[in-house]
Amino acid sequence: MRIARLFVHPIKSCAGIEVGAARVTARGLERDRRWMIAEPDGALVSQRTRPELALVRVSIDGERLAVERQGQAPLMLPASHEDGARVEVEVWGDRVAAVRHQAGSDWFSRLLSAPVQLVYMPDEVRRPVEPEHARAGDVVSFADGFPLLVVNQASLDALAEGAGGPVDARRFRPNLVVDGAAAWAEDGWRALAVGVAGAAAAPSATPALTLRTPKPCARCTMPGIDPDTAAITKEPLRTLARLRTRGHHALFGVNAIPDGEGTLRVGDPVAPVDM
């Protein structure tokens, strides 16, 4: 098993960035979902109600983020935004403090033709992971509930076979795509050691970093949004509901929590471990 792809999503619900390497922090991948779009009252704005956000492209330019959408001048954001007016926003029932960015708020308000605000989660904010699936001190950014999302490529291939056509991994907005495992092997994972350095490993090999995988990811409607066109499609959600429904939820991918910090790279080995 190895890391096949890595994705960072600097602005929640906007397009992600595929990268060759990414630093893991307690909240997840560095710069992942530290920015969020919110209603004036602080409620989350996402592709669930505004699918056109899929077409907002973000790129990393040194210590800045370049945000682009056809028909609008680009928006340049700092990679971090610690100083400014504090506001309270809500992510799935969690009320947390954030820093409002005025130019970003204006840009997205023009884009969506509605008053919204663009906010950043400062370092001082500690949003806890769901306690029933976490340890004391586990924190998360503006991601739905967990620091990382891991997708198994073989499971994606099995879903595509059932759907009768290719399924883009970006629909599921993962951080890590892992290949080399059997389809649905993630059902049995309890933790993953990533960057496993054995006795014969080169001195430059990435030290092992453990990612706890406490639960599968219950999917919303967002995988039904084409990441290139923002069109709403029946697949892969129709096939996923047929193949992977547990209770009232269709499941795909596994949520993960890092134990420690480090750097992940495409090609790093991955191995399931017991916790």
Look at residue 198 in the predicted model and tell me its pLDDT: 41
pTM of this structure: 0.94
Tell me the DSSP string of 3-51.
Answer: EEEEEE-SBTTS--EEESEEEEETTEETTTT-EEEE-TTSBB--TTT-G
Number of domains in the chain: 1
Q: What is the pLDDT of residues 119-137, one digit of tens each?
A: 999 999 999 999 999 999 9
Residue 81 exposure: Cα atoms within 13 Å on the Cβ side: 26
Look at residue 196 in the predicted model and tell me its pLDDT: 59
Judge contact between 211 and 192, C-beta under 8 A.
yes
CA distances from 253 to 9, 119, 153, 189, 215 (A): 17, 28, 10, 11, 9
Q: Please report, as a single letter, which amino acid is at residue 7.
A: F
Residue 9 exposure: Cα atoms within 13 Å on the Cβ side: 31
Q: What is the pLDDT of residues 126-175, one digit of tens each?
A: 999 999 999 999 999 999 999 999 999 999 999 999 999 999 999 999 99
Judge contact between 54 and 15, C-beta under 8 A.
yes
Tell me how far apart the 2 most distant CA atoms of the chain are, in Å: 58
CATH code: domain of residue 117: 2.40.33.20
Q: What is the pLDDT of residues 188-221, one digit of tens each?
A: 999 999 985 443 344 455 558 999 999 999 999 9
Pairing outcome for strands 17-19 and 191-194: unpaired
Instruction: Give dist(CA 183, CA 37) in Å, integer.
Output: 35
Q: Please report, as a single letter, which amino acid is at residue 82.
A: E
Instruction: Give dist(CA 209, CA 213) in Å, integer.
Output: 13
Q: Please report, as a single letter, which amino acid is at residue 116.
A: V
Check pLDDT > 50 for residue 59.
Answer: yes
Q: What is the pLDDT of residues 29-52, one digit of tens each?
A: 999 999 999 999 999 999 999 999
Interior/surface letters 214-230, b for 16+ CB within 10 angstroms, e for the rest: bebbbbeebbbbbbeee
Q: Which domain holds residue 79?
A: 2-273
Q: What share of residues in the chain are helix, strand, coil (percent, to 5)?
A: 20, 40, 45
Residue pointed to by tokens 């893991």: 24
